Amino acid sequence: MAQIHTHDVIVVGAGGAGLMAAIGAHEAGVDVALVSKLHPVRSHTGAAEGGINAALRSGDSWDLHAQDTMKGSDYLGDAPAVETLCRDAPEDVMQLEHWGMPFSREEDGTVSQRPFGGLSFPRTTYAGAETGHHLLHTLYQQVVKRGIRVYDEWFVTRLAVTDEENPTDRVCHGVVGYDIATGELAGFHATGGVVIATGGPGQVYDHTTNAVSCTGDGAAMAYRVGVPLQDMEFVQFHPTTLPSTGVLISEGVRGEGGILYNSEGERFMFEHGYAANSGELASRDVVSRAELTEIAAGRGIEDEYVHLDMRHLGEERITDRLENILHLAEDFEGVDGLEEPMPVKPGQHYEMGGIETDENGATCIDGLYAAGECACVSVHGANRLGGNALPELIVFGKRAGLAAAGADLGAARIDTGRTHRAEPCDSELPEAAGGQAEPEVVTDGGTTEPTNVVEAAIADEKDRIDRLKRRDSDLHHSDLRNRIQRTMTDNVNVFRTEAGIRAALDEIRDVRAAYADVSVKDPSSTFNTDLIQTIETRNVIDIAETIALGALAREEFRGAHWREQFQERDDDEWLKHTFVSWDDGQPSLWYKPAILEGEAGRYEPKERSY
């Protein structure tokens, strides 16, 4: 019989959001454990470079931050979530400071803040160009200090959720984990709640700033037990990634004064009128489209990229504030940023959508919470502002941990699940042809005993893994993952056409059907990356389908979602969130209006220019 580890709160994922959720739950006085497929400090948060937004200075305020965020979101952020983020961020950033986070400082000792795209005030605090690395280490020290149990290199493969017909009647009692070192399957039973904090799904694309571990596992697992995924079509493409690898060159370079040039030496953001006021510091969606427009007009370099130049900032300032960028440009592109401009082009960077939650991290399933990039609370709407993901991790990670531990955070204003505000989808979308599965939920054997639910989930999972290992076929997960990455990069990128999205959807569904024949060649029990990546690939397929479906249905141009035939933002029809549910054996789309009513009135949608 498989072992079951019991804790009050189980946090899946140990990046910024997961560590903060565990600290929050611990502060509420419960027994909390972290379960993570990577060691915590190897989590992808460690790659974050540029900084954390928080209104800390006189002249700035949380409501200015909220206005910038609502505008950046193209008015698809929900005001209660945006206001919570902006109001809580200053205190939470100061808490990091008190825990020893080594923020960069001015001569007088105050914490430095730099300008970032789409911000009306320089409010991005940072630790050199390694902010995420220091954030992870600061939080992990707190986890160690508090004696929080960490199950690292445990890969969570599914949730243990009851099988009532209506997802909002289901209960999550824990998760199933696979010990990467031994191949052992075990259950993690949460008597209080499970927090999913598994990060983004960048591996859906082949040119991405995200690590190979970013396969959207938590979002796909939640989707398969009936939690809707929200606004998945809004994918951020960062304008400054290195062409050969997708490695990020931080927005901090432009924040410090870095300039973008085309092949004719023009400062195109200004000279071609893409952002007459903010230039390089326009919002990311604006700059990415500008670069690709320049390249398509024949003004790119080698028809592929543009130049980002920081030489004029001088060696002292660059090594003080952007030293890491010099190493990245040298190591991955062979370019000396002190002597030459750096080649850059847009690359997939961030998923604005994710698991639908309220401001307290709760999903529509009892006992199941989510925070961080895998969640959609929603603060980023149609476009995330740079520097707004890290405060989201700490603010909503903590809130989700507290809520899972039973702390009273007050009633949430955002409703989850198909409430009375839900609207049907009228678009004609291609039906999936077969190959669909029932929701991944389990009966509790007619008893109300939660551990039975966990045991049933372990048994299902054991069968699935045995089947993958026993199957005799030549089909390898990498063929399928490559097909998804190729079609998403070709067809559901910065510029989107109906024909392209339909082609992607056809390909995704072919791949889904083919997955039924995939096999794992490596029979071993220790560090079986073949098995792990095969399971991750299923998650990549599910996530790709939700992105493509949302993108096909949304017939407007909002934030990061550009459609060839629909060149205007359409507030009459589309001021609403997309939801994709897997609650009837098929993906189905529906909508809920965005919540624009804030504490001091409505955030009235305005033209979004920079």
Ligand X SMILES: Cc1cc2nc3c(=O)[nH]c(=O)nc-3n(C[C@H](O)[C@H](O)[C@H](O)COP(=O)(O)OP(=O)(O)OC[C@H]3O[C@@H](n4cnc5c(N)ncnc54)[C@H](O)[C@@H]3O)c2cc1C
Q: Catalytic residue positions?
A: 284
Binder to ligand X among 103, 140, 155, 562 (CB under 6 A)?
Answer: 155
Of 15-23, 264-272, 295-303, 518-526, which segment contacts ligand X by CB under 6 A? 15-23
- Number of Cβ atoms within 10 Å of the Cβ of 446: 7
Interface with ligand X by CB under 6 A: which range of 12-20, 87-95, 279-287, 548-556? 12-20
Contact region with ligand X (CB under 6 A), list: 290-298, 371-379, 492-500, 570-578 = 371-379
**Of the listed pieces 14-22, 83-91, 415-423, 568-576, which binds ligand X according to CB under 6 A?**
14-22
E strands in 463-550? 495-496
Q: Tell me which residue of 240, 229, 178 sits closest to 200, measured CA to CA.
A: 229
Q: In angstroms, give the least distance from the CB of 553 to ligand X.
A: 25
Pairing of strands 4-12, 185-196: parallel
Q: Least distance from C-beta 124 to ligand X, angstroms? A: 8
Q: Which of 5, 9, 32, 50 binds ligand X (CB under 6 A)?
A: 50
DSSP labels, 84-101 = HHHHHHHHHHHHHHHTT-
* Total count of residues recorded for the chain: 610
Q: Is the dihedral of CA 496, 500, 503, 508 positive or negative?
A: negative
- The single-letter code of the amino acid at 9 is V
Read off the tokens for 393.
Answer: 């991790």
Residue 203 binds ligand X, judged by CB under 6 A: no
Minimum distance from residue 531 beta carbon to ligand X (Å) = 13
Whether the CB-CB separation of 338 and 307 falls below 8 Å is answered with no
| CA 78 – CA 593 distance, rounded (Å) | 9
Question: Which residue from 128, 138, 115 is spatially nearest to 57, judged by alpha carbons?
Answer: 115
For residue 139, the one-letter residue type is L
The rounded distance, in Å, linking the Cα atoms of 187 and 172 is 13
Q: Are 343 and 333 in contact (CB under 8 A)?
A: yes
> Cβ 156 to ligand X, closest distance in Å?
3
Among candidate residues 83, 73, 81, 62, the one with its CA nearest the CA of residue 606: 73
Kindly tell me which residue out of 5, 7, 26, 44 binds ligand X, with binding defined by CB under 6 A. 44
Which range in 39-47, 353-361, 558-566, 585-593 contacts ligand X by CB under 6 A? Answer: 39-47
How many residues make contact with ligand X (CB under 6 A)? 45
| Contacting residue, 11, 28, 82, 156, with ligand X by CB under 6 A | 156
Binding pattern for the stretch 393-412 against ligand X, x by CB under 6 A and - elsewhere: x-------------------
Stretch 222-261: interaction string toward ligand X, x if CB under 6 A:
--------------------------x-------------
Contacting residue, 11, 16, 236, 580, with ligand X by CB under 6 A? 16
Pairing of strands 354-356, 229-230: antiparallel
The stretch near ligand X (CB under 6 A) out of 161-169, 209-217, 490-498, 561-569 is 209-217
Out of 9, 10, 14, 111, which residue is the one contacting ligand X (CB under 6 A)? Answer: 14
Q: How far is the CB of 140 from ligand X (least distance, A)?
A: 10
3-state DSSP assignment of residue 550: helix
Q: How many CA atoms lie within 13 A of 426 on its CB side?
A: 4
Q: What is the DSSP letter of 439?
A: -
When CB distances to ligand X are compared, the closest residue is 15
**Residue 389 within binding range of ligand X, rule CB under 6 A:** yes
Q: Which of 198, 230, 262, 363 binds ligand X (CB under 6 A)?
A: 198
What interhelical angle do 498-515 and 477-491 show, nearest 10?
A: 170
The contact mask relative to ligand X for 93-132 (x = CB under 6 A, - = no) is --------------------------------------xx
Q: Are 558 and 382 in contact (CB under 8 A)?
A: yes
Please give the distance of CA 60 from its chain centroid, rounded to a whole number: 27
Question: Is 36 near ligand X (CB under 6 A)?
Answer: yes
Binding site for ligand X (CB under 6 A): 12-18, 35-38, 43-45, 47-52, 131-132, 155-156, 197-200, 209-210, 213-214, 217-218, 248, 349-350, 372-374, 387-390, 393
